[in-house]
Copies of this chain bind each other. A is one copy, B any other.
Amino acid sequence: MAMSAPTSSPHSLLLQNVNRHHLPTTKTISLHPSPRPTKPISITCSASAQIHDRPAAAAQDRVFNFAAGPAILPESVLRKAESELYNWRGSGMSVMEMSHRGKEFLSIIQKAESDLRSLLSIPSDYAVLFLQGGATTQFAAIPLNLCVQPDPVDFIVTGSWGDKAFKEAAKYCKPTLIWSGKSEKYTKIPSFDDLEQNPHAKYLHICANETIHGVEFKNYPTPKNGLLVADMSSNFCSKPVDVSKFGLIYAGAQKNVGPSGVTIVIIRKDLIGKAQEITPVMLDYKIHADNNSLYNTPPCYGIYMCGLVFEDLLAQGGLAEVEKKNVKKAKILYDAIDESKGFYRCPVEKSVRSLMNVPFTLEKAELEAEFVKEAAKEKMVQLKGHRSVGGMRASIYNAMPLAGVEKLVAFMKDFQARHA
């Protein structure tokens, strides 16, 4: 996918972001001394007891959080969650207190699934499962459900997460590494024509976006037997995806669509029901599909939060619109790096740079700690690169406003001017 020209001006997008502060929201007011010091909040009351929201103050309170996950969530979603936390829509209870089999929670999980199906145009012959345990649990669950020992499976490994999936799979099938980017420090994606796929491989596994290395598939290889499996944890719902090309898509929620503790699996229904005998019941897709993700108690509050994010993404116009914003944000950040005359460097091959995770280094590596420290003072946090690769990393998921990226770029230019 090319970094295409944005459809709206930076200015209009910035306004759009600022305007989001005026969405329906609530203001929490501390009434009693808290165990920890809190700032006093002054309140203006009109005769009708309306309280004016103060978007400027709210924005000042917030940092720009560039963490790789758990990560920034949309401000309007947090405000909605805050307003509903104590008493969800007149139910007299918090979502955290609801029986997972009660009509209130059923309405929440059903709407979440329905909205996700709309967002990704998920075909009806695919099941959507809300699970626990993160993508790491799926590293085992997938071969346990799709393979019989010693079925061969092909892996393309473009970063640390794909490598972890490959290693875990070896317990339950016979995985082959048909391509690895390790020798080039995970900065590339192979030409699909050159891949030597095993014609008997049960599936071909990829990690669609490597969170640590910032490498993203822009299109997908065609597996010999038709079954493509993708870890989309860190670019899930960041752009439209043709689900029908995949046998199975999985994603931890804590990057683009919710808090940690929810894992989403989208699986073609005919692949369900063939788990190995040693499969723990909680890793058996059939159990969850047959019970609409309610075999045991699901992570209810996390699913509720995902549902609020899905609503927000639909309200933005769906994933095509979301992708435009992500392309725009990524472009100004990569441009700033590439136009820095080597002061900043991104090691990833341009054609496969991630829209979500932007790793970069400083030519003068000794300045990196200072960069992270100064940025934090300016309320831009979590910019340190993953401990395994060093440098910096800016994760700019869906919920990162354009203003956050613009502020980062301005800071980078200023930092360069002071240290070049």
| Contact among B171, B252, B298, B305 with A297 in the assembled complex (CB-CB below 8 Å) | B252
List 10 A-B residue pairs with CB atoms under 8 Å apart, sorted by A's residue number.
Answer: A24-B33, A27-B31, A70-B97, A73-B96, A78-B86, A82-B86, A132-B132, A134-B282, A259-B299, A261-B262
Q: In the docked arrangement, what's the CA distance between A188 and B190, Å?
A: 64
| Contact among B33, B62, B98, B135 with A93 in the assembled complex (CB-CB below 8 Å) | B62
Is the beta-carbon distance between B297 and A299 smaller than 8 angstroms? no
Q: In the docked arrangement, what's the CA distance between A94 and B302, Å?
A: 14
Q: Return the CB mask of A11-42 against B: 1 if under 8 Å, else 0.
A: 00000000000011111111111111011001
Q: How far is the CB of A45 from chain B (nearest CB, A)?
A: 4
Q: In the docked arrangement, what's the CA distance between A278 and B171, Å?
A: 6
Q: Chain A: residues with CB nearer than 8 A to chain B?
A: 23-36, 38-39, 42-45, 49-53, 61-63, 65, 67-73, 78-79, 81-83, 85-87, 89-94, 96-100, 102, 132-137, 139-141, 144, 168, 171-172, 252, 254, 258-262, 277-278, 280-283, 295-302, 305, 379, 381-382
| Contact among B67, B86, B91, B96 with A102 in the assembled complex (CB-CB below 8 Å) | B67
Residues on the B chain within 8 Å of A172, using CB: 278
Is the beta-carbon distance between B28 and A83 smaller than 8 angstroms? yes
| Contact among B61, B87, B300 with A259 in the assembled complex (CB-CB below 8 Å) | B300
- Besides the known contacts A78-B96, A96-B260, A133-B137, 9 further A-B residue pairs in the complex with CB atoms under 8 A apart: A28-B86, A63-B91, A67-B97, A70-B97, A79-B86, A99-B382, A102-B382, A132-B299, A140-B280
Residues on the B chain within 8 Å of A379, using CB: 92
Is the beta-carbon distance between B36 and A25 smaller than 8 angstroms? no
Is the beta-carbon distance between B72 and A281 smaller than 8 angstroms? no
Q: In the docked arrangement, what's the CA distance between A143 and B23, Å?
A: 51
Q: How far is the CB of A31 from chain B (nearest CB, A)?
A: 5
Q: How far is the CB of A249 from chain B (nearest CB, A)?
A: 19
A131's closest neighbor in chain B, by CB? Answer: B133
Q: In the docked arrangement, what's the CA distance between A139 and B279, Å?
A: 12
Residues on the B chain within 8 Å of A45, using CB: 43, 45, 49
Q: In the docked arrangement, what's the CA distance between A295 and B164, Å?
A: 12
Residues on the B chain within 8 Å of A132, using CB: 132-134, 137, 261, 299
Q: In the docked arrangement, what's the CA distance between A49 and B40, Å?
A: 10
Q: In the docked arrangement, what's the CA distance between A43 and B102, Å?
A: 33
Residues on the B chain within 8 Å of A42, using CB: 49
A99-B63 in contact given A49-B44, A51-B43 (Cβ < 8 Å): no
A75's closest neighbor in chain B, by CB? Answer: B86
Is the beta-carbon distance between A298 and B136 smaller than 8 angstroms? no
Residues on the B chain within 8 Å of A134, using CB: 132, 282, 296-297
Residues on the B chain within 8 Å of A258, using CB: 96
Is the beta-carbon distance between A69 and B297 smaller than 8 angstroms? yes
Residues on the B chain within 8 Å of A254, using CB: 297
A104's closest neighbor in chain B, by CB? Answer: B381
A96-B70 in contact given A33-B24, A140-B282 (Cβ < 8 Å): yes
Q: How far is the CB of A407 from chain B (nearest CB, A)?
A: 13
A299-B299 in contact given A86-B28, A277-B171 (Cβ < 8 Å): yes
Residues on the B chain within 8 Å of A36, using CB: 89
Is the beta-carbon distance between A25 and B29 smaller than 8 angstroms? no
| Contact among B24, B32, B262 with A25 in the assembled complex (CB-CB below 8 Å) | B32
Q: How far is the CB of A368 from chain B (nearest CB, A)?
A: 18
Q: In the docked arrangement, what's the CA distance between A215 and B165, Å?
A: 42
Is the beta-carbon distance between B72 and A168 smaller than 8 angstroms? no
Is the beta-carbon distance between B49 and A61 smaller than 8 angstroms? no
Q: Which of A39, A93, A136, A302 has the most CB of B within 10 A?
A: A93
Residues on the B chain within 8 Å of A102, using CB: 67, 382
Q: How far is the CB of A235 from chain B (nearest CB, A)?
A: 16
Is the beta-carbon distance between A83 and B137 smaller than 8 angstroms? no
